[in-house]
Amino acid sequence: MRDLGTRRAIDAVWRIEAPRLIAGVARLVRDVGLAEELAQDALVAALEHWPGEGVPDNAGAWLAATARRRAIDVLRRRKTGDRKYEELAHMLPTEQAPPGDAAMDDDVGDDLLRLVFIACHPVLSREARVALTLRLLCGLTTDEIARAFLVPEPTVAQRIVRAKRTLADQRVPFELPGGAERASRLSSVLEVIYLVFNEGYAATAGAAWMRPALCEDALRLGRVLAGLAPEEPEVHGLVALMEIQASRFGARQTATGDPVLLPDQNRALWDRILIARGLEALARAEALGGVHGPYALQAAIASCHARALVAGDTDWRRIAALYAVLGHVDPSPVVELNRAVAVGMAEGPAAGLAVVDGLRGLPSLAGYHLLPAVRGDLLARLGRAGEARAEFERAASLTRNDRERTLLLERASRL
């Protein structure tokens, strides 16, 4: 029983400390793949020592010191030079000093930020960035990532291996980019966090309507990034969006996991603390000059829903106006489809339908299930039941999410 408790403690420590540990080691060895291997070596050492010796008071520092020793051994074998070896050996704690209070911890903020930028480097594909980020910064196993995105585990493993190899082959430096490069790289970082959150908020496929654990991982990453880059308005904009969206978790599905759409949600179940945090982050983004940033604009839209105590109080005209601005800042057919929903609520279903019908011929939306879903809703409100039913059935045939398919077919049958 004691061993089981120790194993659980080790698992908990690893989840918390792994990103810091990998980031600190990567600064020394300049290789993300090798850093992860050395960090896992430290985990194996903990599994060997802690059941008998007990979990150290400063478990993270113990792991850091162990991983650092492994790094020095590797660098010595690679004959990187006496000067570098002496430099690293000097970082080791003495017999009298508690392990782990050396330079690795001094720069942990910068190290984590570097690791974020490397895991989301543009030389990697979007899928590889997502997988590597979840692996290195969220501590998820390949099996957990595979189950979250409903892809085979070997596929995820190959993406991660290829991503590490690409970073090594491209000689991506373990350093923070500056100036214009940092701004462009930041957009890649934010996109990955946004994609992870969205997949958790509305699962693309499978039997679950939501995967809250992914949202929690994305939100945790966003909060860490906001602390590491406090002057970046879009970081705060994304955090604001995620905080406000996450506030609805308790109302977005029934006890059996069935979806509950926004107009039907019990807003008393919304988390007011998360809403307050989101509004604070939004104010911060706007104060930093990010009022027209894509994530800040989406957060402003979410705030309109959060401020309405009942669905009927929602300021749909403001939402439609914000989507219009977002469409100029970050043009997208999906943004325009969302604007159609807001126009339909603010000006009536006929006005919304006119916007939707302008999108029907776009190849990028040809297989997008929400286009017929939105059109079906607007047609139903206009009393065109037969057409609406056909649209809901078409939407059901396009979605890969089982819960959403059931919901759409139920809406069709009620017509």
**Full 3-state SS string of 71-125:** HHHHHHHCCCCHHHHHHHHHHCCCCCCCCCCCHHHHCHHHHHHHHHHHHCCCCCC
Max CA distance (Å), the chain? 81
Whole-number pLDDT of residue 92: 55
Q: What number is the average pLDDT over the span 137-154?
A: 85
Give Cα 158 to chain centroid, integer Å: 21
pLDDT tens, 347-357? 999 999 999 99
Whole-number pLDDT of residue 109: 58
108 vs 306, residue with greater confidence? 306
Q: Residue 185 — very low, low, confident or very high, per pLDDT cuts 50/70/90?
A: confident
108 has a pLDDT exceeding 70: no
CB of 234 closer than 8 Å to CB of 266 = no
Half-sphere exposure of 408 (CA within 13 A, CB side): 26
102 has a pLDDT exceeding 60: no
146 vs 394, residue with greater confidence? 394
The secondary structure element, H or E, covering residue 206 is strand 205-206
Whole-number pLDDT of residue 103: 41
pLDDT tens, 192-220? 999 999 999 998 888 899 988 889 989 99
SS3 of residue 70 by DSSP? helix
Q: What is the DSSP string of 384-413?
A: -HHHHHHHHHHHHHH-EEHHHHHHHHHHHH
Whole-number pLDDT of residue 53: 79
Whole-number pLDDT of residue 99: 38
Q: Residue 24 — very low, low, confident or very high, per pLDDT cuts 50/70/90?
A: confident
Residue 259 bridge partners (DSSP): 253
Q: Which of 88-102, 163-177, 299-313 has the lowest mean pLDDT?
A: 88-102
Q: Please state, in angstroms and rounded to a whole number, the distance separating the CA atoms of residues 17 and 242.
A: 23
Q: Residue 98 — very low, low, confident or very high, per pLDDT cuts 50/70/90?
A: very low
Residue count of the chain, please give it: 415
